[in-house]
């Protein structure tokens, strides 16, 4: 039977360590797959979202609520891409300009991430950067889990536990989290 450690059954200590890591990083295990799913959806729907933004921008009466971004210009919200992140447009001479704008509640500011004359291209650039940010998150999580395990279980080799945890983190969501603890996890980390 396959175990979450794949090559041999986990020891009792490894099981305990894994359960503790899952408990400790529960919020990350919730947020990471949700963020990755949002990027997956965005990448899948770039053409559709871009078209919707083009249509909104081409209407004589500009639609969507207006926000002021950090460039000082007024932007019309077209589509909410993620929590507090919007694809926006604004009229310019001879057409429209598009931007991905993030609202920061703590500062009350709206910051432009990407901008350009082609909505789909702006979205593609944004999606690409989100993938890179997800990679930064993955690397940081790997370091955090190793640190957590080293502090909780000093002197023990917890590498298989760390691998298993990272596999769970990066695979959860793509499998709809249908697998319960201790089932069918294999080793390796990927996004």
CB of 87 to other proteins, least distance (A): 16
Determine, following the binding rule CB under 8 A, whether residue 146 of this chain makes contact with other proteins: yes
Q: Which stretch binds other proteins (CB under 8 A): 14-22, 58-66, 124-132, 183-191?
A: 124-132
- CA separation, residue 131 to residues 30, 32, 54, 99, 127 (Å): 18, 12, 25, 18, 6
Q: Is 117 helix (H, G, I), strand (E, B) or coil?
A: coil
Torsion of CA 74, 77, 80, 84, to 10 degrees: 30
Output the CA torsion 26→181→161→186 (10° steps). -120
In angstroms, rounded to a whole number, what is the distance separating the alpha carbons of residues 31 and 140?
Answer: 14
The reply to whether 1 sits near other proteins by the rule CB under 8 A is no
CB of 158 to other proteins, least distance (A): 12
CA distance 142 to 35: 17
Residue from 2, 84, 159, 183 that binds other proteins (CB under 8 A)? 84
Q: With respect to other proteins, which residue has the nearer C-beta, 109 or 118?
A: 109
Min dist CB 135 to other proteins, Å, is: 8
CA distance 54 to 96: 8
Q: Among the candidate windows 49-57, 86-94, 126-134, 179-187, which touches other proteins by CB under 8 A?
A: 126-134
Binding site for other proteins (CB under 8 A): 27-28, 31-32, 35, 70, 82-84, 102, 104-107, 109, 113, 129-130, 132-134, 136-137, 139-140, 142-144, 146-147, 150
């Amino acid at each position: 039977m396959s175990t979450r450690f794949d090559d041999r059954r986990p020891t009792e200590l490894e099981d305990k360590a894994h359960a503790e890591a899952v408990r400790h990083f529960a919020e990350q295990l919730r947020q990471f797959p949700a963020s990755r799913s949002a990027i997956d959806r965005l990448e899948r729907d770039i053409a559709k979202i871009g078209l919707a933004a083009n249509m909104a921008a081409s209407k004589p009466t500009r639609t969507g609520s207006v926000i002021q971004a950090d460039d000082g210009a007024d932007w019309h919200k077209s589509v909410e891409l993620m929590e507090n992140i919007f694809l926006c447009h604004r009229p310019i001479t001879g057409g429209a300009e598009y931007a991905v704008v993030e609202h920061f509640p703590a500062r009350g500011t709206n910051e432009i991430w990407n901008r350009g004359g082609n909505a789909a291209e702006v979205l593609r650039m944004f999606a690409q950067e989100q993938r890179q940010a997800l990679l930064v998150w993955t690397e940081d999580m790997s370091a955090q889990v190793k640190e957590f395990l080293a502090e909780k279980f000093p002197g023990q080799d917890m590498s298989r536990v760390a691998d298993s945890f990272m596999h769970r983190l990066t695979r959860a969501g793509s499998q709809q989290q249908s697998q319960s603890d201790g089932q069918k996890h294999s080793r390796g980390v990927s996004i």
